[in-house]
């Protein structure tokens, strides 16, 4: 489960990658369900695009315990 500091990072990065105008991460799904980022362990993955770093969120599926790899698209 996410600790308070991690929840703050999730909130900040979620806005940028799930609602952003340059890069858009797909909502993490596993075992047929949308993964609740605030109630599972997550790791952060940095990607560089045009010299800017974006941080993607990769949660651990609470059902199968596998890491849900971040999938993203570049928005033009």
Domain boundaries, the chain: 4-71
The pLDDT assigned to 58 comes to 97
Angle at 40 between CA 38 and CA 43, to 5 degrees: 90
- Name the band, by pLDDT with cuts 50, 70 and 90, for residue 1: low
Gap between the Cα atoms of 64 and 40, Å rounded: 12
- Name the band, by pLDDT with cuts 50, 70 and 90, for residue 41: very high
The model's pTM: 0.88
Radius of gyration of the chain (CA): 12
Say how far residue 6 (Cα) sits from the centre of its chain.
Answer: 12
- What mean pLDDT do residues 44-65 have? 95
């Amino acid at each position: 489960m996410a600790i308070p500091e991690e929840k703050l990072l999730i909130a900040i990065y979620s806005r940028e990658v799930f609602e952003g105008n340059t890069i858009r991460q797909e909502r993490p799904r596993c075992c047929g369900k949308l993964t609740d980022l605030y109630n599972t362990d997550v790791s952060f993955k940095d990607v560089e695009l045009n010299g800017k770093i974006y941080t993607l969120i990769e949660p651990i599926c609470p059902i199968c315990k596998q890491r849900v790899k971040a999938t993203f698209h570049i928005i033009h």
